[in-house]
Amino acid sequence: MSSRPSFYITRLENWVDLPSSLGTLGAQILAGGTDLVPNLTWELASPTMLVDVMGISELREITIDAEGRWVIGAAVTLSDILHHPVLGAHYPMLVAAVHAVATPEIRAQATLGGNLCVDTRCRFRNQPPIWRSGLDPCFKSDGNRCYAAPKSRECVAILSSDTAPVLIALGAEVAVGGPELRWVEVEALYSGDGHDHLTLGPQEFVRAVRLPRVSPAGVFRKWRDRATMDFPEVDVAVAATLDEGVPRDIRIVVSAVGPAPVRISAAEVLLDSSPWTDAQLERASVMAREAVHPYDNGQLGVIGRQLAVRSLVLDALTALRAALMETGGEQNDLGGRDSREKGQPR
């Protein structure tokens, strides 16, 4: 029997009751539990009450709102998304990311909201208790040091959500439930501090994810040790919409290199204003590598992950360019905003 700390489980059937339950000291949401239960077993979490939300039917629905946008409840399982008859055809990049999460058994249990909120990880913390007993507590364990980044003043543990970068690239929004409902961009869900990595208030929770009515073209790439099961060492999601042959709304997101996904704004601006030549895609990938600073807290080392960022961004952008050209680009290289505005051939 594990030395898992004791807690109560409260099962809810109406989300209206959720804020007050979460207001209880030491309360935490239990959805699929695929991340939480291992953390309990390894004594990495010590809630006094778990609020089981899997009985709340509103959180388990995939619907289309009045404006034709898909809304996925936070407690919809990842395998429900994979098995949905229509969703995959509209949002192939989301399905690719969901399919890249863990294993079939875990996807049958894990939820979309849980994947977005999954606790940050670090190789100096996500270890059995006896392993950790040799180290003084780090920031994430309420201590005052970071083993991965000794000069850091805050926790740099990694966000391992595969769906987060994709939903950011898609421009999806999250319904944050609580005393008041608010809609935020997925990007705004993350604080950047690995210790307390979500911006949710104490009584707030992720209620649903709303996808844009029309999905931009997108490509997702995940780099990990093994081809299955593993958490990401680097995730990359890129997306763009073709407007009269010119890519617009370009989003380049790199994740699993820190406590929050990173938008590579400089590369987005570059590709918004210039043709998508091989050289420009290469420049964008270098910008991505320079914009992220992974620490030695994953499984595959700092240099490897830096190189992977560049390689994955280049690969993803090249694939995105091919996809865009298939749907409407006319020439070998897609034109940027400048070329169109100046009347140059694309």
Residues within the interface to other proteins (CB under 8 A): 1-2, 4-9, 11, 30, 33-34, 37-38, 40-42, 50, 52, 54, 102-106, 108-109, 227-229
Given a contact cutoff of 8 angstroms between Cβ atoms, the answer to whether 124 and 148 are in contact is yes
**110 or 253: whose CB is closer to other proteins?**
110
The Cα-based distances of 326 to 301, 322, 323, 334, 336 in angstroms read 37, 6, 5, 11, 17
- Residue 178: both structure tokens together: 């609580």
Pick 59 or 317: Cβ nearer other proteins: 59
CB of 92 to other proteins, least distance (A): 18
Q: Is 119 left (phi over 0), alpha (psi -120 to 50) or beta?
A: beta
Residue 114 or residue 216: which is nearer to other proteins going by CB?
A: 114
Nearer to other proteins, 160 or 241 (CB): 160
- Please return the burial class of 122, using the count of CB atoms within 10 Å of its CB with bins 0-12, 13-18 and 19+: buried
Query: Tokens 């617009």 map to which residue?
Result: 248
- To other proteins, the closest distance from the beta carbon of 129 in angstroms equals 12
- Asked whether the beta carbons of 206 and 113 are under 8 A apart, the reply is yes
CB 325 → other proteins: shortest distance, Å?
29
CB 33, min distance to other proteins, A: 6
d(CA 321, CA 228): 27
* Least distance from other proteins to the Cβ atom of residue 36, Å: 9
Give the nearer residue to other proteins in terms of CB position, either 47 or 212: 47
Q: Is 113 in contact with 59 (CB distance < 8 Å)?
A: yes
